[in-house]
A and B are shown apart, each in its own frame.
Chain A
Amino acid sequence: MPVAYEGTYGMIAEFDTPSDLVRAAKAAYHDGWRRMDCYTPYPVEEAAEAIGFHKDRVSLITLIGGLMGLCAMFSLETWISTLAYPLNIGGRPTYSWPAFIVPAYEWTILFSGLSAAFGMIAMNGLPSLYHPLFNAPNFRTGATDDKFFLCLEATDPKFDVTETRAYLDSFGPNSVVEVEY
């Protein structure tokens, strides 16, 4: 792991259109950049593909959460109805599993939904109220509004303050800004 440039998070280039961003991101990835990210005001799937990000593990977490909810509720119902507090309801068996399906089903959905939402937030490293990118003067006004950013990070072995700036400039962005910590 190369040492990051002291005091520099990376270099961001600002683009006006998603097409320009995707083109630049593709080229940078092709040229061997790996520690990079794109920032867009709405999801641009092509940009994620361009920087080689294909798989996320939200679905797996959701599945695990859902199965946990299912097992938790079904076993709770079984334990309550057969051991903890058996009741005779119209002579039905205490282990009347068809009736247990409904709450178990609801808890499957409850746990999967919570896992999907909180799993997504946690894997995104949120909440993180501070981020070096917010120091860039044009990031705050554009990234969540109408501008598209490509960031080449200082932790990448190819990073060099002057060369990277020139490299990003060659894509014809609105501006290239050095991001400080």
Chain B
Amino acid sequence: MAMKEIKTEDPALGAGIDPKTGEFRVVDLNYTFKSVTAKIADIVLTPHTSLGWFALFTVAGGVATLVLVAVTWLFLKGTGIWAVTQPVGWGFAIINFVWWIGIGHAGTLISAILLLFKQQWRNSINRFAEAMTIFAVVCAGMFPLIHVGRPWLGYWLFPLPNSMNIWPQFRSPLLWDVFAVSTYATISVVFWYVGLIPDFGTLRDRAKSKFAQFAYGLVSLGWRGSVRHWVRYETASLLLAGLATPLVLSVHTVISFDFAVAVIPGWHTTIFPPYFVAGAVYSGFAMVLTLAIPLRKFYKLEGLVTDRHMDNMGKVMLTTGLIVAYGYGMEVFMAWYSASHWEYFMMWNRMFGPMGWSYWMLIACNIAIPLTTLWVRKWRTNMTFMFVMSLIVNTGMWFERFVIVVTSLYRDFLPSSWGTYRATKWDYMTYIGTMGLFTALFLLFVRFLPMIPMNEIKMMLPSAKLSPKKPAVGAGD
């Protein structure tokens, strides 16, 4: 990984390179404990909210009202206002659900898996990546809830005692999904909150206004930084990371079971679980970049979210993108190798049928553009390029879900039952509305919560290293 041949003095790469490893530095070395606190806490504690924030929040809130209108109409009219019908019985709701959940997965990957692998660079980005996870799960969770048609009966999904004396059917992946996603949402929130407790303590101690002191004091639970507390805290964080890792892999695996357990050509494949998880991480990292690049620019966080992060995230996207590409390749290969007429036709129809454009969009956005360019380090640290790339990959991953759901269904075994799928304005309103909701929630997070974990950054600073040799002034023993 280390590219030793790159000189520290190389002006094109800036001064942020560590001569020992040849990698970009994780944190700007000019930061001290105090300036880390000041930098991160003051973004939250400042009484001055920038006009840009209000403008963005207004736009995001406005877009979010679309979802409110669409869902209200849906509850009045029923799912008939969507384009779902025979033969495409699953439409935007499931596409958007899978897409949003997938985006959330990168947050857990950064906060949990990279913690287990002791990848310290994750410390700067894990807080907002986790926030992204939670808000993505909020958006995702809405879809299964509203697509049941009669959402007031949504509690039927859970094994709750009821007067009808009926119980859920535990052999269906759709029910497994209920448990996977609800567990995922709960654990993500808990993990996020545990991480926030010490930082709430810092905000409480730094806040000037009585209200902020009270509010942050309450949520900090009275955190005072005792090392005994820290030891238990570290154990709990590590355990939560260890638990979140198999959880995040299981969530998208279970979601892929929703498809793979069915006997529809194009769905009934064993490659789905790993390929879904890789795709999830791929789109999730793209979303982290979409959020991180403007954030670090507006709040001048280049010293904390450095080129190293951009470079590494680019590498993760490249890796997961290659896994996804392997998945696509395998699907095509198996369609041919299975010698099944239906599989073969499905793949031919997916590529060259009336909706073939969506397949080629997916190939272009997920494979052709990113996997040819992300190899270049200079481009991986070019923010404009990475921002555009992240949008392209997110579009591509949305098309992947679209291709899997729609093009597997619209021309099934019997030509007499063939049909097509064209989303209605309500479908689009719900989808675009969730993006507004997500952005609005994220803006609130950026304004009121520390978006970078202060204590974890302090751990990485050189001044956190113990120096046993240098005697303290007037040491007592």
Residues of chain A at the chain B interface (Cβ within 8 Å):
17-20, 22-24, 27, 30-31, 37-48, 51, 53, 56, 58-59, 62, 73, 76-77, 80-81, 84-85, 87, 89, 92, 96, 99-100, 102-103, 105-107, 109-110, 112-114, 116-117, 119-121, 123-124, 126-131, 133-134, 139-141, 143-146, 167, 170-172
A113 near B186: Cβ-Cβ < 8 Å? yes
- Supposing A38-B227, A146-B32 touch, asked if A112 and B37 sit within 8 A by C-beta, the answer is no
Contacts of A140 in B (CB 8 A): 205
Contacts of B191 on A, CB cut-off 8 Å? 113, 117
**Once the chains bind, are B201 and A37 in contact (CB under 8 Å)?**
no
- Cβ–Cβ contact A99 & B170, under 8 A: yes
In angstroms, Cα B198 to Cα A39, docked, is: 12
Offer 16 A-B interface pairs, CB within 8 angstroms, sorted by A: A19-B472, A39-B225, A39-B226, A41-B225, A42-B459, A47-B227, A53-B231, A84-B165, A103-B170, A106-B180, A107-B183, A126-B221, A127-B222, A143-B225, A144-B198, A172-B474
In B175-200, the 8 Å CB interface with A consists of 175-176, 179-180, 183, 186-187, 190-191, 193-194, 197-198
Other than the given A53-B231, A100-B170, A113-B187, 6 more pairs (CB < 8 A) read: A40-B227, A102-B179, A120-B233, A121-B221, A144-B225, A172-B474
Minimum distance in angstroms from B137 CB to a CB of chain A: 14
In the complex, what residues of B have CB within 8 A of residue A45's CB?
Answer: 231, 234
Q: In the bound complex, what is the Cα–Cα distance between A139 and B204 (angstroms)?
A: 12
A113 near B240 (CB under 8 angstroms)?
yes
Q: Which residues of B contact A41 (CB under 8 A)?
A: 33, 37, 202, 225, 454-455, 458
What residues of chain B lie closer than 8 Å to A171, measured between beta carbons?
Answer: 472, 474-476
B231/A48 in contact, CB under 8 A: yes
Closest-by-CB residue of A relative to B257 is: A102
Closest to B173 in A: A102
Q: Is the CB of A87 within 8 A of B169?
A: yes
On chain A, the residues within 8 Å of B225 by CB distance are 39-41, 143-144
Q: Is B186 touching A92 in the complex (CB atoms < 8 A)? A: no
Q: A30-B477, A112-B243, A172-B473 are in contact. Are A124 and B235 (CB under 8 A)?
A: no
Whole-angstrom distance between the Cβ of A93 and the nearest chain B Cβ: 10
Residues of B within 8 A of A27 (CB): 475-477
Is B20 an interface residue, CB under 8 A from the partner?
A: no
**Which 8 pairs show the lowest CB-CB distances between chains A and B?**
A170-B476, A146-B33, A120-B236, A127-B221, A172-B474, A85-B167, A42-B455, A43-B230
